[in-house]
Structure 1
C-alpha cells in the first residue's frame, strides 16, 4: 500500500499531473510498480475505487449548537436572607 501512497503524494506535489492523460501517467505508473486495479483506478480518476483499495472509510463529524442556559430570574423583594443574618437576628433578640 505504501507504493500507491507515495505515487499519489508525487502526483499531488506536481500540478502538471492534475489533468494528465493515462498515456502521460503510464511511465510514472510503471516506475511505481502498482497493481493493475490501482493503475486502472488512477487512470480513470475513480476516487471511490481508490478509497476501497486503500481501505479508507468516509469521515464524518456532526456538530450541534449547545443549548442556551436559562438565566434564573430573582425577584428583588423576595430574596431569602443569608443564614448568618438569621443567626445574628436570633442572637440579638
Structure 2
C-alpha cells in the first residue's frame, strides 16, 4: 500500500509542477515514466500477493487474532481466566 501512496504523491507533485503551481526541483525533472512505473509496480505487487495467497493469509491471521481476543474477553467476563482452580 505504501508503494501506491508514493506513486500517487509523485503523480500529484508532478502534475502540480507541470501546471507550474508548486514545484519541487527533482520531481519536476523526474520523467513521467518513473511515476507510471510505480503504478505498474504496485499492480504487479498486488497481482503477486493475490496469486501467492499472501493477501488471504494476512486476512486469516487478522481474523484469528480478533477471535482470540474475543475469547479472552469472554473468559475474563466469566471470571475463568485460568487463575482460579476448582477442587
Question: TM-score normalised by the shorter chain: which range applies?
Answer: under 0.3
Instruction: Write 1 or 2 for the structure with the bigger share of helix.
Output: 2
TM-score (normalised: structure 2): 0.24
Asked which structure has the greater CA Rg, the reply is: 1
